A and B are shown apart, each in its own frame.
Chain A
Amino acid sequence: MELTGWGRYPRLKAEALKFEDQAALQEKLDRAAGGGKGLIVHAQGRSYGDSSLSGEVVLTDRFRDVLEFDPQTGFLVCESGLTLAEIIQAFLPRGWFPSTTPGTKYITVGGAIASDVHGKNHHRVGTFTQSVEWLDLMVDRDRVLRCSREENGELFRATCGGMGLTGIILRAGLKLAPLPSAYIREKIVLTRNLEETFQVFEENREAPYSMAWIDCLVGEPLLGRAVLNLGWPKERGRLVLPPEPRLNVPVDFPGFVLNRLSMAIFNRLNYAYARQGPRFRVRHLEGFFYPLDSILNWNRMYGRGGFTQYQFVLPKETSLEGLRTVMGRIASSGLGANLGVLKLLGPANDNLLSFPLEGYTLALDFKIQEGLFPLLDELDRIVADLGGRIYLTKDVRMKPEIFRKGYPNWEKFVELRHKLGLEERFQSLQSKRLGV
């Protein structure tokens, strides 16, 4: 079957293994080992780049049962193919929600662990795996290891954020967070430049949720102007599920639909909406957390050639300087990064390859086009020199030296893979490109 990540670039013909239980997986893995190709799990295909692509992939969409749930504590045990959308559907009505969630709920628990995803509350609660107490990891067909902070601790820290390269995550035990209602009280603040944007983030550190839409098309003096969305869970309100999404992008849009101009209009509209001082509104958490999930297959808007989302983080000390340089360079390149999302992250955790560190992270979409990769290489060097790193879940083209500079624990990760004999067995296009 033809596979792509969420960015729909690159495309790859791959053999796909489906399984419904551990025994069936073991049986199929035997054959896979004979094939000698590196395996990687491809779950919902929501990581943007090539991290879930390989000549041979394991599909987990038939492996998604809930195995245990404690309604007193919110502790959930499930198979790795269960999606956050299903968790929300089942447990939101009873007052439980994932401890953190990225901008889409159509990802699996296994994927959330492998990418160690973060969300609007990172500055308060950290990453997804900080809610994970243990996981069962299949390192080869006859060996499943229970990993937690206490048991196989190094393997646990390598697997959380390890991009599926330490084995197949089968099951996980994790804590959901209590939720008082399905509504968020949202404060929207408009800023005029980057300094002001940073200032509002800092002033609102106590807000449980924060992120900003940032205008990536303007230069100085407006560079860095943004619309900040701050959120507090509403204490009183009903625990109701959102309606099912209705909008779909059924086919690839031709390239011109989302050209620079149309995205500029989109960004300005968003900006104009929040023009008159801080505004408050109450909205369902669906619209607050997942604005793009309401349009199924929105990735097709970038046309058949695909797109990439460039996401990096800079330490706080270098964030202002770094973002000015990077955003100025993007604006002048005219390659039109359309949609910018900025967020102040909290402290890093001790997982070997987790992305977040204390500072500002910026994510922007680029349509795949002539001249893009040289620009991104240039940005990579700026980011790496300032002590930052690129998010592996979004990456599709980073050079190995940038990876090694940004993720100083890479060596430990490679050693662990070697020690357990995993480097041949589990590979992705990304791991081969980065030399992991």
Chain B
Amino acid sequence: MMRLLILGANSDIALAAARKFAQGAKMDLILASRGVERLEKKARDLELRFNVQAQTVFFDALDHSSHRAFYDSLEPKPDAVLLAFGYGGHQKRAQAEFEEVQRIVETNYLGAVSILEIIATDFEARGRGAIMAISSVAGERGRKANYAYGASKAALTAFLSGLRNRLFGSGVRVVTILPGFVKTKMTEGMDLPGPLAAEPDKVGGDIFKAYRGSRDVIYTPFIWRPIMTAIKALPELLFKRLSI
């Protein structure tokens, strides 16, 4: 039986993806997060709906020194991992308080690097596995609205690119997932552009399709690929004047 480890499994996108993997590939699930109590209920729901095994494990992305013991405790080891944790942060606060920037970077970048290096080494040694990580289109170009978050995701995207390059030929895949605006707890209360805001189910489905397919980098929903191509192509001379 194939096993999927989901880091940050309490997020809306993570749970949507969990349903797709359980339904579509009958994969057993290891759900890891800080909020284990809520996760227990979600695990039970997944087991009943899809007739798979779903276990829960405590995991704290910010507690980097605990990551090795966390991964060592997993037995048997997962065949695939989906990194779904992230901290959106508050841009205004990040400009005033360095601690906010630290928390953003320590979660989205350092937390991801810390656990993924451990997993990558194990997968590499076993000669197989899939590493999927949720970065963001916000990391494609820094904007005034969320550049603290965007910079941490840019670092993550670059890291994943390097990791993929390193693991090429080892039998281990690395998939970078770049969602646009998604209607989740993180974005609740934000003024999302209606037609562009996706449901978590859509993103979860796209992640599963990426797992089944062969792409290295996916935008989800797909419309973000042309949008970001255009945004990245704007000359800085123009871009710096815009409010987008």
Chain A interface residues toward B at CB < 8 A: 20-21, 65-69, 86, 89-91, 94, 250
Contacts and interface: CB of A to CB of B under 8 A. Distances in A.
Interface string B19-53: 00001000000000000001001101100111100
A88 to B, nearest CB: 11
Contact of A90 (B41, B49, B195): B49
A68 B48 CA distance: 7
Nearest to A89: B23
A69 B49 CA distance: 8
Nearest to B205: A244
A65 B42 contact: yes
B51 A66 contact: no
7 contacts: A65-B41, A65-B42, A66-B44, A66-B45, A67-B45, A90-B23, A94-B51
Contacts of B45: 65-67
Contacts of A69: 48-49
User: B-side binding surface: helix, strand, loop or mixed?
Assistant: helix
Which range holds the interface residue count of chain B? 10 to 19
Contacts of A21: 38
A67 B23 contact: no
B89 to A, nearest CB: 22
B48 A66 contact: yes
Nearest to A71: B51
A49 B41 CA distance: 34
Interface string B140-151: 000000000000
Nearest to A244: B205
Contacts of B195: 250
Contacts of A66: 44-45, 48-49
Interface in B196-219: none
A91 B48 CA distance: 9
A91 B49 CA distance: 7
Contacts of B48: 66-69, 90
A67 B41 CA distance: 8
A67 B44 contact: yes
Contacts of B23: 89-90
B179 to A, nearest CB: 19
Given A65-B41, A65-B42, A67-B44, A86 B49 contact: yes
Nearest to B46: A66
A21 B41 CA distance: 11
Nearest to B42: A65
